[in-house]
Structure 1
Amino acid sequence: MEYIRITSIDDPLFKQLHQLMQDVFPPEEVLEFDLWKEPLEDPGIRVFVAVHNRKVIGATEYRYYEDFNVAMTDFTIIGQAGLGIGPFLANKRLEDLIYLASINGNRLYGMFAEIYDPYRVEHYEFGGVKPMNPYVRREVLSHLGYKRLDFPYVHPSWNNDGEAVTGLDLCFLPMEARVNEVQTELIVKFLRRYYSVLSNKPESWHAMIENLGANDKATLLPI
């Protein structure tokens, strides 16, 4: 299995990746093909695919914020069961992020991720791929060490239509097990940066940011 970075929509592997995203994710979570041009060319956004026999069978997108010393996992896709795609992607991603932090003189502090909560929203099918089942993914991420940040979370739809997407938790994977809370200042700065590309955010998102700013820390809880 190969771990290959994609930096252009003209890369033949990207066509396979975009189709895989459409097969797996809800429509509101997938950017249109042409809108991927700038993200893929952005050096701070890292999109890698798992390739087996010249076929894209998995993928992950993530980014490292040097000034925050944290990462964000945008998505992880497992296209087939029984090939070890999940561990392959998770290990390769972590190796890359540890390296990125090290060349900036840091030890990676942790990684954010949005995780669907199937106990609140049960209709997510994710293309019928069993490893992508929200119950399975949530348990796997828990085993990896992710914890839920203790506040009601919403995020702006990637359709940039001002709609709020609910049914998710914002989670954090601390690199040190003793970390059991995160400064809300870091969370707010991260979310403002991460969603700066969307101009049309729902009022509930702004209210969430304001409420976060009223506290010093957010507790990390089991997921």
Structure 2
Amino acid sequence: MEYHRITSIEDPYFPKMHQLMQNVFPPEEVLEFDLWKEPLEDPGIRVFVAIHEGNVVGATEYRYYEDFNVAMTDFTIIGQAGLGIGPYLAKQRSQDLNKLAEANGKNMYGMFAEIYDPYRVEEYEFGGIKPMDPYVRREVLSHLGYKRLDFPYVHPSWNNDGEAVSGLDLCYLPSDDHVSELETSLIVKFLRRYYSVLPNKPKEWNEMVQNLEGVDTVKLLPL
């Protein structure tokens, strides 16, 4: 299996990755094909695909924020079962991020991720691919060490239509297993940076951020 970085919509593997995203994710979670041009060319956004026998069988997008010393996993896609795609992507991503943190002269503080809560949202089938089942994905993140940040979470729709997307949790993987809470200032700075690309923020998102600014820390709870 090959871990291949995509930096242009002209990459021959990008259409295959974009189709895989459309097969797996709800429409409001998938950026239009042409709108990927700038993100892919952004050196801070790292998009990799797992290539097996010439086909894109998995993908992951993530980023490392040098000033925050945290990462964000945007998405991970496992295209089919039985190939070990999930562990492969997780290992490659971890190695890549650790190199970025080392180059920044630090040990990485932690990593954010959004995860669907299947106990609240049941209609997402994720293309019928069993490893992408939200119950399975949630359990995998739990095994990796991710914890749920204890506040009601919404995010702006990637359609940039001002709609709030619910049914998810914002999670965090601390580098130190003993960490039980996270400073709210980091969460707020991260969210403002991460969603700065979407100018049409829903009212619910703005209220959520304002509420966060009123407390010092947020508890990390089991998934």
List per-residue Cα deviations over 1:20-65 (Å, max 9, x = no partner).
Answer: 0000000000000000000000000000000000100000000000
How much does 1:170 deviate?
0.1
SS at match of 1:39: helix
Specify the alignment match of 2:194 in structure 1.
194
- How far residue 182 of structure 1 moved from its aligned partner, in angstroms, is 0.6
Distance across 1 between alignment mates of 2:142 and 2:68? 23
Post-superposition offset of 1:111: 0.3
5 Å-filtered alignment, 1:69-218, equals 69-218=69-218
Unpaired runs of at least 5, structure 1: none
SS at match of 1:115: strand
Cα distance in 2, alignment partners of residues 69 and 211 from structure 1 = 24
Any idea what SS the aligned residue of 1:12 has? Answer: coil
Residue 207 of structure 1: how far off its partner (Å)? 0.3
d(CA) in 2 for partners of 1:176, 1:56 = 34
Displacement, 1:11? 0.3
For residues 129-162 of structure 1, what are the alpha-carbon distances to aligned partners after superposition, in whole Å with 9 as ceiling and x for unaligned?
Answer: 0000000000000000000000000000000000
Shift of 1:204: 0.4
Aligned to 2:44: 44
Deviations 1:56-102 (A, max 9, x none): 00000000000000000000000000000000000000000011000
The whole-number CA distance in structure 1 between the counterparts of 2:65 and 2:115 is 20
The percentage of counterpart residues that share the same residue type is: 77
Runs of 4+ deviating beyond 4 Å: none
Q: CA deviation at 1:18?
A: 0.2
CA distance in 2, matches of 1:44, 1:160: 21
User: Given residue 15 of structure 1, which amino acid in structure 2 is its aligned partner?
Assistant: P
The total of aligned residue pairs comes to 223
Amino acid at match of 2:125: E
Amino acid at match of 2:95: E
Distance in structure 2 (CA, Å) of the matches to 1:12 and 1:22: 17
Structure 2 counterpart SS, 1:120: coil
Instruction: Write the distance in 2 (CA, Å) between the matches of 1:104 and 1:30.
Output: 31
